[in-house]
Amino acid sequence: MKYTLILLFFIVTNTISQSNLDSELFIDINTGKPYSGDFEIVNENGNVVFVTRYYEGIKYGREKTFYKSGVLKSNGKYMNGLLDSDFMEYYEDGSLKSLSHHYNGIKDGSFMIIDTDGNITGMEYENGELIR
């Protein structure tokens, strides 16, 4: 089952800290049980602005956010409710803004930020600690 909600719900849910959302079960309001399936939010123009997947109430799988225009804004993969993949952010023109590696919800490996002029700032993380 796929839920489609309006942007207003997206704005309201974003007032809650992301760490709280990631650590709590997502409950299906119709059954009162942990939700399994795709979940997306669309804006007033009908464009998808957020899409993710849940398994037994926990984020599991690809999560994407989009600008109002429909252009991809971010992309990452969750396992057992934790970011566990490369995480990419994009500018609205579609160019790469940042790339980071995560393991069990913790930054681990290279982290790269690209400014609008194409300048790259690189960092390295080990088990969540900045090492260079």
Q: Rounded to whole angstroms, what are the CA distances from 26 to 8, 62, 79?
A: 18, 16, 15
The total number of structural domains in the chain stands at 1
Domain extent for 106:
3-130
* Global pTM value: 0.77
pLDDT at 45: 86
pLDDT digits (tens, 9 = 90+) for 32-56: 999 999 999 999 888 999 999 999 9
Q: Give the span between the Cα atoms of 58 and 24, in whole angstroms.
A: 8
Q: What is the chain's mean pLDDT, rounded?
A: 85
CATH number for the domain that contains residue 93: 2.20.110
